[in-house]
Structure 1
Amino acid sequence: MAEPSNGPASFWTQANALLRKSLTFQKRNIKTNIRLISFPFVLCLLLVLIQSVVNHELNKASNKCGCKCIDTNGDGQCEKVCGIQYSNAKQVKACSILNPPELPPLLQIPAPQYRAVKTDFTPFNDLPNSSCRRTGPCPATILFTGSNQSLGEILAGNMVPSSSSLNYSDIIGSLAQNVLGTASWPDSSNYLEPALSDPQVYVVQQQCTGNSSFSVAFQALSITFQLDVSCAQGLGGWRNSSSAVNDELYKGYRKGNTQGQINEIVAGYDFLNTNSNNFNVSIWYNSTYKDETGNVPVSLVRVARSVNLASNAYVQFLLGPAIKMLFEFVKGMPKPETELRLDLSSVLGTLFFTWVIIQLFPVVLTALIYEKQQKLRIMMKMHGLGDGPYWLISYAYFLSISSIYMLCFVIFGSVISLKFFTLNDYSMQFVFYFIYINLQISLAFLVAPFFSNVKTATVVGYMCVFGTGLLGDFLFKFFIEDTSFPRGWIIIMELYPGFSLYRGLYEFAQYSLTGNYIGTHGMRWSDLSDSKNGMKEVLIIMVVEWLVVLPVAYCIDQVTSSGSGKSPMFLFERFRKKHPSSSQRPSLRRQGSKVYVQMEKPDISQEREKVEQLLLYSSTDHAIVCDNLKKVYPGRDGNPEKFAVRGLSLALPPGECFGMLGPNGAGKTSFISMMIGLTKPTSGIAYVQGLDIQTHMDAIYTSMGVCPQHDLLWETLTGREHLLFYGRLKNLKGSALTQAVEESLKSVNLFYGGVADKQAGKYSGGMKRRLSVAISLIGDPKVVYMDEPSSGLDPASRNNLWNVVKRAKQDRAIILTTHSMEEAEVLCDRLGIFVDGSFQCIGNPKELKARYGGSYVFTMTTSSTYEEEVEKMVRCLSPGAKRIYQISGTQKFELPKHEVKIADVFQVVENAKSRFTVHAWGLADTTLEDVFIKVARSTQAFNVLS
């Protein structure tokens, strides 16, 4: 059917064939690709729409610096004037502040309902009774410890003033003389202290009297603030060690105790080794005063006043109570007018973009498993595609698809001006995405061997997609933001590639969010040196995992791939011995001794002796040589072992078509599976073109053709494209390839009427069968296995196919299995009837019919009353006659040929017609079907008796 190819296809020829097939397959699935790429596009558009709504809300006048219409010239015409003096507390953040106001420094103290009291988990006697929460405000407790308790108590006594005083002519200055505190949470800036609008402002002193509370008014930013200041008693408590202080602080911590009760301390002071010559202090403070996102810097948690209290107490200890270290005011840096900005892509992008990118994983995974489920991978391998070209092209193919997908994703986001993309360095994004998609493809190759069904893999894949995003956003994110969570555990969690992706996107989002808010750029390469930036560790983890996962995936694929697979030690075996070339084939070797339980028939023994002679003299004249080949499946669930093939020996020269006949379950498919590399023999050896099927199957594949029992085709490729692909694998090129494909299509009647360019998924069953036969014969394979090639064909197509096989067997060896006795007689030079795992006879059709069919079959139909008379008549004609069938007057008899003459049969029938009515009669020679049935029944009966 084709001109002989010039040897096996090279690595790059195989790679070229697979690449062309993959590109054609991709072209057929253009709608699926459009849907895939449209997902990030639609998501980005959705973010833009939501962003426009958010921007509209942020641009409202209530979020901008306040304005007022004022008649500045006295002409009755008002002019719009904007400034901080016309703004409310919300609008102040947007105004320009060229001269930030001086604000009184405040101490962060707990709200009355959260102040520390005596409880089961803090049973210290110096704490107030919990009844104070009902009867009046509880004191605000400050803890102290150190190496010198007497000194520490002196410093603690100096820390909180005994009373408060106020100078209304210098409000800010007099407020510095007192210790003011607030329970309000700090804001993200100090331009306007949120406590100034909070009616709960406290003055902390040692005792609260009737006149301890007061009201004060002062101006800041052209705004008059009226503060009602109430007294909060400052209570000191000494502890014997820093661990005791730390334990008490933690148990009252907003997230630390297990009792569900908040029992907060104002602060903790450890004076360590402080003395008159040395001042050394550690201060504990509550850092939980943050918003839900945790974005408020710790430096804004009003720590400065806590430090001033300790410093002032020490100065008074050294120089006397008249000397004070005043903390007069705090103020922010000048700032220009700003607008409220919120980039939604940075806020939501981490979760959404995790879903967008990781959805490539199930796409790659299902593509790999589809080829495995449909047995297309092993089909390609059996026609000469090596593992190297398969991995190279498959990996490059998926990498190209993923790269195009990611490129479109970034372009979409950039074109519609999502800050997530435009602010962060594009080179960093390229490196991050490139490394991750390589890791993701490697993971798909690693996981694919453990699935055999596309639907199962799809479900698991998309569970990973959505599960990773949700776990990342609702669990992993909080671990990242919690500074107390061990960094080592975060790194361990990032070993899961989905969390590595999430962490990288989180860092991009945080930098773009901050850059958009303050009007600068996002992440740059220089930011990797920041200890809080996790991108560096993520890149290192992903690169290392990629370099580890890819070779591990290759090794697992080699061991578990379709076909016989390889030993887990195959890498070491490759180093120990070279792969044999066609000019260095191993000599045929004899298998060890054999023990036979059942006496073999002469033709079987003769075939076995022929094999032994070929092995003894290392002859390579025969295309196929099998010696004592066995396949035993282990017993399961209490069942005994199953002997599928029992010591099969066969020698097949080129130019011969050998037919295997046998009932279902006889072991024919098991034998074919061993020969084509799907399973390994339990024992015995077999050579194809002089190469051992157990060690050199890859080399055998280059000269082998297979027509499997079930059609293994790509639904979206045409018949012509199938043959072009497999022809290239057989090293056909140029005009020789085109000619071979056309001849193959014509020979199986698939060339005319546009059938050749019709997708195989639209073929009928018979058309698919003819295409499978054409695939098995293209490229001049030296050995061809055909498993029921004509099943499902109409009579005309079957006869046409038989002619194709007849022409093809002239220069190649063919092993053919069939249930059609007519097909076996027409095509096969020799037949072997295979029953219960072994050959029962071998020979050409005429020999078998002569050996097992030395009789005629005589049939006569009469009324049932004449059955005995018919039997007597037959017995007189042939004493050795044997009745093999009887029902309702119809009887069949086997007549030994040496006992009867055909003329005598006609004479006896004519005489019978004169005595009774004969409805029908016939005399037939033995058919191949009769031989098959006879041999199969006798063998099965023998096995039952034995």
Structure 2
Amino acid sequence: MANLVRGPASFWTQANALLRKNFTFQKRDAKSNIRLISVPIILCVLLVLIQNWVNKELDKPWNKCGCKCVDKNGDGKCEKVCGIEYSDLSQAISCSIPRPLEWPPFLQIPESTYRAVQTDFISYGDLPDDSCKRSCSCPATILLTGTNQTFGESMGRNLFSSVSTLSSSDIFDSLVYNILGSESQPKYMNFLEAAFFSNTTVYNVRSQCSPNFTFSFPLEFGSVALQQEISCVKALHLWRNSSYEINDELYKGYRNGNPEGKINEIITAYDFLNSNGIGFNVSIWYNSSYKNGKSNLPMELTRVPRSVNLASNAYIQFLLGPSARMLFEFVKEMPKPETELTLDFGSLLGPLFFTWVVSQLFPVVLIALVYEKQQNLRIMMKMHGLGDGPYWMISYAYFLLISSIYMLCFVIFGSLVGNAITIQLKISFVSPFSPFAGLKFFLLNDYIIQFVFYFIYVNLQASLAFLVAVFFSNVKAATVIGYIMVFANGLLSEFLFQFFLQDESFSRGWIIVMELYPGFSLFRGFYEFSQYAFKGNYLGTDGMRWKDLSDDKNGMKEVLIIMLVQWLMLLVLAYYIDQIASSGKDPLVFLWNSRKKPSHSIRKLGSGRQGSKVFVQMEKLDVAQERERVEQLLESSTNHAIICDNLKKVYPGKDGNPEKIAVRGLSLALPQGECFGMLGPNGAGKTTFINMMIGLIKPSSGTAYAHGMDIRTDMDMIYTNMGVCPQHDLLWETLTGREHLLFYGRLKNLKGADLTQAVEESLKSVNLFHGGIADKRAGKYSGGMKRRLSVAISLIGDPKVVYMDEPSTGLDPSSRNSLWNVVKRAKQDRAIILTTHSMEEAEHLCDRLGIFVDGTFQCIGNPKELKARYGGSYVFTMTTSSDNEEEVEHMVRRLCPNANKIYHISGTQKFELPKQEVRIADVFQAVEKAKGRFIVYAWGLADTTLEDVFIKVARSAHAFNVLS
């Protein structure tokens, strides 16, 4: 077989065509782009405005170190002096503290209503009765266990003294020799001990309490004077036989650990294990709920060391006697300069909102891909020569470029938005906000780390969109699922994943498993950025730097690795599944090594000759002759543009229905320069046949050749010189007619002046050139204009094989006539297969016709042959009154005994008169005589039309199929 005249466009030519089309499409979609980019801009502006408002509130005097006007020189002039001595309790935290105060260590004492007592779910009889809660006199319990009960009981007796040594003369010195406790919770810092500044009672913890013991002493801090009371609370130490019993009691006493939900807390618990006189080994339980969930702040553990000191002191007294003791004199905060109270609001909310901002790119890419799939635009591009390689490379690079520009704008605007707003506010009016240079989330963290993170993620997101798009064929469904995933990414990450991140007891391995979900990986990256930005803003240091990635608690490195691996894996998987889905192959095709590949040789593809011999005997002579002609051509090297060899398509049955045979062993041969018309009723299988020829669906058996290339194996080569006008217009709504033709012309390897000339000629040939129509968006075209554009697309680039599926549908008579002239000129040097419901169009355009009914040809030939073969009769029509109908029928029988009545209603009758049995002059003479006998309202004699042939053949074929 001869090769196609025009060679395929090169890889880079196809890539250039698609890239130009995408950029044009993007330019026309400016409103959507503005809406898309406005989301991060609005969010950043909102965060900056909130941050400025928060800064303004924190800048109020009561949040700063206290100041006072002091006359230092005695000249009556005062100077503003600030310091802790002029501050109240809320201001003191901001002051410079070069010499922090020394505070006595405290035990964490449960509130009186929560102290351990006897309950229904704790059966130990050594606990006090719950009646003590009414008088607020319940002791604070300590649990003991170990392998040596005698040793443990001795240790318990040494834990607390039975007497108080409090002295008002030197109160802080005397506090060292007493065990103090407090119900207040510890704070983030210890510049001010919460036990003294929280309006709670300080307890002197002893083994025995005298009745109504209360000690009061004054306490001054700067300008604040307090009167602090110290009350006695009895410490009750109780033995338990094992650590298991202690665990059980602690669990049941902790909030919801018991069926009744009652709280039954203890101070602490000790397991002395194998301790004795020559060795000390102890485990300590303490209630971590007093850490406010911030275990990474060390000063919140200041009330645990007193429990350790008690055990150590008890052991020293066991060894050396009651007079020996290890004093725990004080705890104190580190010195600090004057600080300002700040809150980086943007970093606190960043992980959630920025996850939403970045994730919104996912449905944008997904919708674009599914739109091309739903509208069959991708297969339309492929049918005009666009290969999978250029499509994937340009589409992926295009979406990656759009995503990268989006992320670049996001980072730049987040970094500069604060200054821009501040400047704008100052220009327009006096700004109520303090200057704020952008969001610390962006400014403090290393930009290189940010860009690496964003670049890897947008690649991962694009790959995921390509993969997910394979499973969608409807834009609405893809839109809904895409945006559900966006909101799910943020909400699940904020309210589920973040909880596990902050729980240090949760396995790091499971964190990594959860990060395999791309949404969690994105959130983890933002979470790490926000933590470093918040801490850097608070401490006045930098945010995340490259050296921080080696920190064990920093999850950024593992996130980058996970996303990089996922990106590459998902991209390969998406490409593989896309190829399988588009080819209809089994996804596990690579496993079936025994499956034989079909041969590319025409002579070896007989497509089942033995199966066709039975069928030939049932076919009409002209159809059988066409089949024999195809068989002869397959054995020779005759140059034919199209050869269909026993082509068959069977759709499997569904829901209990039998299989549907759409095309039944079709054989057809078309030489170059012929237009072949396929006529048939709806559902006959014409569109299925066209879809097989253009590669939309695979044949069940048989094959076809376009210039010697097999449609089953060589469609990529066939596409380069094939034109298609599908039944439905496959157009981009935002591209103009000219831009459509430029794109498809480039795919057909047209360049420069040849491309421009071909586009203009195509537009002129279909009447879309004048009046600015060519440069109007296709979405604003009428149905007829879209149809003409589809025809122009099918002929651009001089294809040698063209398929037109009802090309003139929806056209007005003038446009239809112009289109027919275009097709007539185009068929001179190419083969055209055309399906139509217009008999006039078929007669005007087609060199040969085939009437297609129930998946098979019923006849093949040129229009004149078909009318002569199936229409060898005249149609005689006469209309009279109903009383004269019988006379009319007798008249016709006398003219032609074999006349066949084909129509009868209300005095109007139609008869078929065989041409060989009647003369036209006899008919005229009989009518003139009839007019003398009765009134004739109307009469006529017509030759058979192609429409009559079509109806006759279709009815007879349908009747035969019903009977068979």
TM-score by length of 1: 0.96
Which position in structure 2 is the counterpart of 1:17?
A: 17
The question of whether the paired residues in 1 share the 8 Å contact of 2:188 and 2:299 is answered with: no
Listed one character per residue, the Cα deviations across residues 71-96 of structure 1 (whole Å, up to 9, x for unaligned) are 33333333322211121111111000
Q: Distance in 1 between matches of 2:870 and 2:172?
A: 123
Residue 634 of structure 1: how far off its partner (Å): 2.0
* Segment of structure 1 superposing worse, 123-132 or 200-209: 123-132
Which position in structure 2 is the counterpart of 1:611?
A: 630
Counterpart residue type for residue 615 of structure 1:
L
Aligned pair in 2 of structure 1 residues 137, 526: CA closer, same or farther (>3 Å)?
farther
Which position in structure 1 is the counterpart of 2:842?
A: 824
Listed one character per residue, the Cα deviations across residues 861-912 of structure 1 (whole Å, up to 9, x for unaligned) are 2222222222111111111111111222221111111111122222222222
The equivalences for 1:143-222 within 5 A come to 143-198=143-198, 199-210=200-211, 212-220=213-221
Residue 360 of structure 1: how far off its partner (Å): 0.9
Counterpart residue type for residue 468 of structure 2:
V
Q: Distance in 2 between matches of 1:743 and 1:436?
A: 46
1:484 to 505, 508, 532: 505
Aligned: 1:329 with 2:330: yes
The equivalences for 1:440-451 within 5 A come to 440-451=461-472
Aligned pair in 2 of structure 1 residues 526, 220: CA closer, same or farther (>3 Å)?
same
The question of whether the paired residues in 1 share the 8 Å contact of 2:190 and 2:299 is answered with: no
* Segment of structure 1 superposing worse, 706-715 or 165-174: 165-174
Q: Distance in 2 between matches of 1:575 and 1:738?
A: 51
The question of whether the paired residues in 2 share the 8 Å contact of 1:632 and 1:641 is answered with: yes
Listed one character per residue, the Cα deviations across residues 156-205 of structure 1 (whole Å, up to 9, x for unaligned) are 22112222211333322210111101111111111111111133211111
Q: Distance in 1 between matches of 2:593 and 2:738?
A: 38
Unaligned runs of 5+ in 1: none
Q: Distance in 2 between matches of 1:337 and 1:575?
A: 80
Which position in structure 2 is the counterpart of 1:284?
A: 285
Counterpart residue type for residue 643 of structure 1:
I
Which position in structure 1 is the counterpart of 2:429?
A: none
Which position in structure 1 is the counterpart of 2:246?
A: 245
Which position in structure 1 is the counterpart of 2:423?
A: none
Which position in structure 2 is the counterpart of 1:411?
A: 412
* Segment of structure 1 superposing worse, 635-644 or 777-786: 635-644
Aligned: 1:940 with 2:958: yes
Secondary structure of 1:236's aligned partner: strand
The equivalences for 1:95-106 within 5 A come to 95-106=95-106
The question of whether the paired residues in 1 share the 8 Å contact of 2:256 and 2:262 is answered with: no
2:621 to 602, 618, 623: 602
Which position in structure 1 is the counterpart of 2:27?
A: 27
Listed one character per residue, the Cα deviations across residues 686-723 of structure 1 (whole Å, up to 9, x for unaligned) are 22222222223222222211100110100000001001
The question of whether the paired residues in 2 share the 8 Å contact of 1:5 and 1:780 is answered with: no
Residue 245 of structure 1: how far off its partner (Å): 2.7
Secondary structure of 2:134's aligned partner: helix
Q: Distance in 2 between matches of 1:836 and 1:862?
A: 39
Which position in structure 2 is the counterpart of 1:362?
A: 363
The equivalences for 1:453-852 within 5 A come to 453-561=474-582, 564-569=583-588, 587-592=603-608, 593-594=610-611, 596=614, 599-617=618-636, 619=637, 621-852=639-870
Aligned pair in 2 of structure 1 residues 256, 295: CA closer, same or farther (>3 Å)?
farther
* Segment of structure 1 superposing worse, 603-612 or 587-596: 587-596
Secondary structure of 2:262's aligned partner: coil
Aligned: 1:112 with 2:112: yes
* Segment of structure 1 superposing worse, 496-505 or 401-410: 496-505
Counterpart residue type for residue 778 of structure 1:
I
Aligned pair in 2 of structure 1 residues 258, 476: CA closer, same or farther (>3 Å)?
farther
Q: Distance in 2 between matches of 1:282 and 1:590?
A: 87
Aligned pair in 2 of structure 1 residues 639, 579: CA closer, same or farther (>3 Å)?
closer
Residue 393 of structure 1: how far off its partner (Å): 1.0
Residue 53 of structure 1: how far off its partner (Å): 1.3
Residue 221 of structure 1: how far off its partner (Å): 5.5
The question of whether the paired residues in 2 share the 8 Å contact of 1:101 and 1:220 is answered with: no
* Segment of structure 1 superposing worse, 825-834 or 137-146: 137-146
Residue 471 of structure 1: how far off its partner (Å): 2.1
Aligned pair in 2 of structure 1 residues 366, 654: CA closer, same or farther (>3 Å)?
same
* Segment of structure 1 superposing worse, 538-547 or 424-433: 538-547
Q: Distance in 2 between matches of 1:573 and 1:9?
A: 34
RMSD of the alignment, in Å?
A: 2.2
Q: Distance in 2 between matches of 1:575 and 1:522?
A: 59
Q: Distance in 2 between matches of 1:620 and 1:577?
A: 28
Counterpart residue type for residue 879 of structure 1:
P
* Segment of structure 1 superposing worse, 89-98 or 534-543: 534-543
Aligned pair in 2 of structure 1 residues 143, 221: CA closer, same or farther (>3 Å)?
farther
Q: Distance in 2 between matches of 1:911 and 1:389?
A: 78
Which position in structure 1 is the counterpart of 2:432?
A: none
Aligned pair in 2 of structure 1 residues 836, 579: CA closer, same or farther (>3 Å)?
closer
Q: Distance in 2 between matches of 1:576 and 1:854?
A: 54
Aligned pair in 2 of structure 1 residues 637, 211: CA closer, same or farther (>3 Å)?
closer
Aligned pair in 2 of structure 1 residues 703, 6: CA closer, same or farther (>3 Å)?
closer
Aligned pair in 2 of structure 1 residues 256, 293: CA closer, same or farther (>3 Å)?
farther
The question of whether the paired residues in 2 share the 8 Å contact of 1:103 and 1:220 is answered with: no
Which position in structure 2 is the counterpart of 1:91?
A: 91
Residue 29 of structure 1: how far off its partner (Å): 0.4
Residue 557 of structure 1: how far off its partner (Å): 1.4
* Segment of structure 1 superposing worse, 687-696 or 744-753: 687-696
Secondary structure of 1:542's aligned partner: helix
Residue 631 of structure 1: how far off its partner (Å): 1.4
Aligned: 1:270 with 2:289: no
The question of whether the paired residues in 1 share the 8 Å contact of 2:649 and 2:664 is answered with: yes
Q: Distance in 2 between matches of 1:627 and 1:573?
A: 28
Q: Distance in 1 between matches of 2:299 and 2:712?
A: 69
Counterpart residue type for residue 591 of structure 1:
S
Residue 470 of structure 1: how far off its partner (Å): 1.8
Aligned pair in 2 of structure 1 residues 777, 577: CA closer, same or farther (>3 Å)?
farther
Aligned pair in 2 of structure 1 residues 294, 28: CA closer, same or farther (>3 Å)?
farther
Residue 224 of structure 1: how far off its partner (Å): 4.3
Which position in structure 2 is the counterpart of 1:315?
A: 316
Counterpart residue type for residue 502 of structure 1:
F
Aligned pair in 2 of structure 1 residues 255, 601: CA closer, same or farther (>3 Å)?
same
The question of whether the paired residues in 1 share the 8 Å contact of 2:312 and 2:326 is answered with: yes
* Segment of structure 1 superposing worse, 861-870 or 344-353: 861-870
Unaligned runs of 5+ in 2: 419-437
The question of whether the paired residues in 2 share the 8 Å contact of 1:172 and 1:329 is answered with: no
Q: Distance in 2 between matches of 1:600 and 1:169?
A: 125
Residue 299 of structure 1: how far off its partner (Å): 4.7
Aligned pair in 2 of structure 1 residues 163, 620: CA closer, same or farther (>3 Å)?
farther
Secondary structure of 2:849's aligned partner: strand
Secondary structure of 1:673's aligned partner: helix
Residue 236 of structure 1: how far off its partner (Å): 1.3
Counterpart residue type for residue 42 of structure 1:
I
Q: Distance in 1 between matches of 2:838 and 2:767?
A: 21
Q: Distance in 2 between matches of 1:666 and 1:640?
A: 17
Secondary structure of 1:195's aligned partner: coil
The equivalences for 1:49-128 within 5 A come to 49-128=49-128
Aligned pair in 2 of structure 1 residues 323, 538: CA closer, same or farther (>3 Å)?
same
Aligned: 1:882 with 2:882: no
Residue 255 of structure 1: how far off its partner (Å): 6.3
Q: Distance in 2 between matches of 1:161 and 1:579?
A: 97
Identical aligned pairs, as a percentage?
Answer: 72
The question of whether the paired residues in 1 share the 8 Å contact of 2:291 and 2:300 is answered with: no
State how many pairs are aligned: 937
Aligned pair in 2 of structure 1 residues 119, 540: CA closer, same or farther (>3 Å)?
farther
Q: Distance in 2 between matches of 1:58 and 1:31?
A: 40
Q: Distance in 2 between matches of 1:44 and 1:880?
A: 90
